[in-house]
Structure 1
Amino acid sequence: MEKSPLGYLPKDSKNLPILLTTKEDERTLATLENTTDYLNGNKKQKNFMLTQAGVKYAYFDKNNNFIVPFGEYDFADVFGLGRKAIVANKGKYGIIDEYGKLVLPLEYDFIEQPSIYSNYASIFLATKQNAVTIFDEKLKVIPIKDIASYRDWDGNIFVTNKENKIGLIDYKGKQTIPFLYDTLYNEHSVPRISGFIAKKDGFYGFVSRKNEIIQPFKYNYIYVLKGGYAVYVGKNNKVGIFDENGKIMIPFEYDAIYSTSYNNHLTKEFPSDMDIFIVEKDGKIGTIDNKNNVIIPIVYDGLSGWVEYGPEAHFVKKNGKYGIISHKGEVVIPIEYDYVGLPQSGVIRVRKDGKYGVMSWKNKTILSCIYDEIVLDISWFNFGEEKQKPKIVGLQRDVWKYFDLNGNLLQSNVPLKEINDQYDYTFKWSDPSNESSDFDLKQKGGITRER
């Protein structure tokens, strides 16, 4: 295939008819009732929505003579594989040759030439009721029987038969994995080992594109972490990770393994969060590196994946109290608070024994926990030329006060009307729980996915 302004055409694209449409893509999108549905739709759904938007199609030759006039088809694609084009009318698909003649009748529910980026398959997939037929560029049937459905994903065509078993065909129409598996899929994020997660007889394994067994079918589940690591859940529900050579990298001694998500690139001695894992063992949580060295001791009751807008750190829970520790396990905010908020400009709102205070993320007390209410008047983002000066707003014994971010008093006895005008909306909010989905991280069975 080679690229042209019309699409990806065969090398023998000389003198092929040109596709003409009545609307440009931008105008078409503007006429659709729901642009989001269009952008998120599959090929068949997009074709239908274009038809509903009133797009018309025709083909003409190099002499500007119409090969196919407007109105004959309500969907048409550019000429490509085998010097042929996919067309549709009233919801039925067929294929025409370069002379405008139907060479595959309009009797299919959908026809496509699978593709990913500039890589186009050398086959057509034609769906009719509950059966899929594979045609080559000459429209000869490629004899793979009993395909009930398929899914084109990341350059792989996963096919399912009538017994609901899944296999794989390549972009040339060759079946490389037979109909064997109850689940078969690949992950973008697993470049370390080329292959597919598969399920057979109730257990998961890992197979190559040629159906070679990379990891045997003896695992309860397999889920994927950032950085291309696949976590295997064993029969005893202990989890571990294999390296690229199939050797155990992280031993099967943990109850769960998760990714970390730090904000910035780390230092040379601590190079990548992709190689640092949160682990759970015997009900406690900590972190390890990709050589199974413990970084944060596995002694905590909860550990977040990251601290948004803050240092490279984790919210942490122990004995019912919260704090923040660094990615190396150093205390940033002591684990003694009932609530710890998100950092803003280096300061953090905390609550202890029902009273609020403010800490810096370097563990310096800005305001002690003696206030009935604290508001951090700090913009998350600054827009426009006027920049608001940040301050801390505190309520103590019915007196409102303003402080700077170092805890210095700016104003006492702030009028209640000013407080209500400026901050009334914040008092309607409750403190977000530290028990967020990111914090708890209890995913015993891995990531639930339906395939």
Structure 2
Amino acid sequence: MKNILNVLCVFISIFVFSQTKSVKKPAIKNVPKTTMKKGKSVVAKHNPDLVVINEDLPLLIPKKKGDSFGYVNQNGKYIIQPEYHIAVFFYEDCNLLNSPNEKVRKYGTKDYATVEKDMISYRIDHSGKRVYQFKDSDLGKCKFQEYKQQLFQAYVLNGFYGIIEKSKFVNAADYRQYQIYPQYQYLYIMEGDNVADPMIVASNNDKFGVIDVNNKIIVPFEYANIKRNFSWKLGKMFEVTKDGKNYYYIDANNKTY
């Protein structure tokens, strides 16, 4: 199991190298307060361009323009101009967090994102400033973390995909034992923090969408492809394409960024 977790950590690291104006409180009493995550609140306070519209989404979202990536805020405005070959979500880098160089450990926190330009990798802050350039000697080993065992898994019957709850499934001939009876061309359970309610990439009639374990459609079946990567785990978003070439991010409400 430990080896599996190490491989998972390495895969996340590989993915890392592949992948809002703050509103003043109105002077009106008895208005329900919106709870804001502490980390976002601090960052948004210091950068008025980081608008918080959806609490579940990152303050900055990678977006491609031409051949380069930058970052837009939740309104779709470029805050960090596109100049990078690779740009991923702001997220922890466990290799830097455990660096033998104590001075660079802070750059492994989720306040920074990894980007690449001219074959050189950096960590940048929310203003787009390059605060750290990667060095092999600074990379530490990721610490062991307990793996969250998935409750559900895909199951193929007669060429069609369904979903079963592993701990309860015994008899493939009993349709009542299926969480989702096999009916799709393809299913893939996305990596996420909530194993009881995962997002599931599905294919039906040669189109991709997203469903939940109750077979409710979250994202309509209108995409040529949806990447099976860590975008849901890292940013609560899906990386999609309608033409098979140009990928972009959408949220769980099918809003484009």
State the TM-score, normalized to the length of structure 1: 0.20
Greater RCO, 1 or 2 (C-alpha within 8 Å, sep 6+): 2
Higher helix share: 2
State the TM-score, normalized to the length of structure 2: 0.33
Structure whose alpha-carbon radius of gyration is higher: 1
Higher strand share: 1
